[in-house]
Amino acid sequence: MAASETKERIAESLASLLNHNTFDKITVREIADEAEVHRKTFYYYFADKYELLAFVYQRFIVEAPRREKPLTITLENWRPETIQLFERIADHSKLFLNAYPYDDGVWRQSTNEFVAARLSILLHAMPEYRYLKEDVIDTSAEFIAAGAIGIINKWANDGFKASPRTVLDQITTANRLFNGILDRWKLS
């Protein structure tokens, strides 16, 4: 079996276990047994179950549709791509709900990095922000991403009742409101 297949099988094993149990209750031994590999094999690919969980988040939620072609975020496609990301989160809601409350911030960190990187690309593409220094744009992207992750976590805590489109609208509205507050603050 190829190394990438073994790594994928270990990830699929954790994802499968998360459909029935919370992350804090799952052991490396259970993951290895489910994947039909030795514990040493698990540790060859992952330092611990948290590193594996970050890989699972990326594999099952963030990167799923890009397996065949790389995704380029643009000002034209960011909205449908974001809705697809939220749909994947909702599609894997059991995995998500059984993992993120117990993951010591793995979800927040890995997803924040992903979202901030995509936001930075978008901000750089906007003519009105081209005069800003790169670190200002990157910090702004990280700030907006952190707020977006907070809204996504609230959505999860509410049992994914809202549609992905509604969640994106909430994030967009929150960002506009914050920008409005800053604009008024500048005037006072």
The span from the CA of 145 to the CA of 95, in Å, is 22
pTM of the predicted model over 0.85 = no
Q: Write the DSSP string, 41-99.
A: HHHHH-SSHHHHHHHHIIIIIISGGGGSS-----TTTHHHHHHHHHHHHHHTHHHHHHH
- Mean pLDDT, range 18-40, rounded to an integer: 96
Q: Where are the domains of the chain?
A: 3-56, 72-187
Domains 3-56 and 72-187 share a fold: no
CA distances to 9, 34, 45, 53, 109 from 13, rounded to whole Å, are: 6, 6, 14, 11, 22
Residue 50: is its pLDDT beyond 60?
yes
Domain 72-187 = CATH 1.10.940.10 = no
pLDDT value at residue 70: 55
Question: Which CATH superfamily does the domain covering 3-56 fall into?
Answer: Homeodomain-like (1.10.10.60)
pLDDT value at residue 182: 66
Structure tokens at 45: 């690919």
Whether residue 124 contacts residue 130, with contact meaning beta carbons closer than 8 Å, is answered with yes
Q: What is the pLDDT of residues 71-124, one digit of tens each?
A: 677 778 888 888 888 898 898 889 889 998 899 989 888 888 888 888 888 888
